[in-house]
Amino acid sequence: MGKQARTASRERRAAMVAAAQRRRTYRIVTGVGGLVIVGLVIAIVVTIVSVAGKEKPNLTGASSNAVVAPANATATGAIVIGTGDAPVRLEIYLDYMCPYCGRFERANSGEIGRLIADGTVRLELHPLSFLDKSSHGTRYSTRAANAVATTADKAPDKVLALTETLYGHQPVEGSAGLSNDEIATLANSSGVPREVVDRFQQGEFEAWVAASTESGFKSGITGTPTVKVNGVVFTDDLYTVGPLTRAVETAKGR
């Protein structure tokens, strides 16, 4: 065998060793990668299971309470504010987490308060909780709606003030929302009596909120804010002062 042939075969052998080594490295990397994949799949499954499991006690906890309606609620799931003989019936469907409901409230709350006070409007407020899914599992919509319903039950004259304050300090949609303590502080500052605020924690009306959310959407509304004047959906500009007032006054004149 010539020197050249020997060198060539040595080189071939070295290349084969290198290739084998490389294959081994790839196999190790694949193995480690496989473990990571298994780990990630387990993590995903565990997360889904724990999230699905965590949500259930909340739901059953709420619905195991019998549905108790606030003292002055309608059968359709609304809180009534104003005198029964007012000529205009104003229905508002809102969620305390919904940013556009906040815009609507900030624009119109003053006018609505005035129209109720002068006997033109009887307000039927439907606090909904469908945006519970947008508060990291803290169910801010339900907690806020329950606070308002509790206030309607025991101190109905403070409902508008509380609604205005809650929207004035509205949390960002998709955040954890206000804590129970923060809701209580805001309620105190809106003049809701302390003994009423203390009842918020009990969640007496959470089941009612859930039931009226369901009946609200069954009745045909598709989102919030939905505003109806004497039963007719108001489709004009909801976010500036004026159009709603005019619609109410037109309805009154009829």
Name residues contacting other proteins, limited to 173-232 (CB under 8 A): 173-175, 217, 222-226
**C-alpha to C-alpha distance for 38 and 72, rounded to whole angstroms:** 56
Assess whether the previous peptide bond of 225 is cis (omega < 30° from 0): yes
Where does this chain touch other proteins (CB under 8 A) — which range of 46-54, 66-74, 149-157, 184-192?
46-54
**Cα–Cα nearest to 150, from 93, 112, 193:** 193
**Identified binder of other proteins from the candidate list 29, 71, 117, 232, rule CB under 8 A:** 29
Contacts of 66 (CB under 8 A, 6+ apart): 207
Q: Could you tell me the sign of the dihedral formed by the alpha carbons of 43, 46, 48, 51, in that order?
A: negative
**C-alpha to C-alpha distance for 37 and 56, rounded to whole angstroms:** 29
**Identified binder of other proteins from the candidate list 6, 10, 12, 22, rule CB under 8 A:** 22
DSSP state of 128: E
Nearer residue to other proteins within complex by CB, 81 or 209? 209
Q: Encoding tokens for residue 100?
A: 């556009």
Where does this chain touch other proteins (CB under 8 A) — which range of 7-15, 62-70, 110-118, 124-132?
124-132
Bin 90: left if φ > 0, else alpha if -120 < ψ < 50, else beta.
beta
Q: Does 233 bind other proteins (CB under 8 A)?
A: no
Q: Does 47 bind other proteins (CB under 8 A)?
A: yes
Q: How many residues bind other proteins (CB under 8 A)?
A: 44
Name residues contacting other proteins, limited to 52-81 (CB under 8 A): 52, 54-55
Residues that bind other proteins (CB under 8 A): 22-23, 26-27, 29-30, 33-34, 36-37, 40-41, 43-44, 47-48, 51-52, 54-55, 95, 98-101, 130-134, 136-137, 172-175, 217, 222-226, 238-239
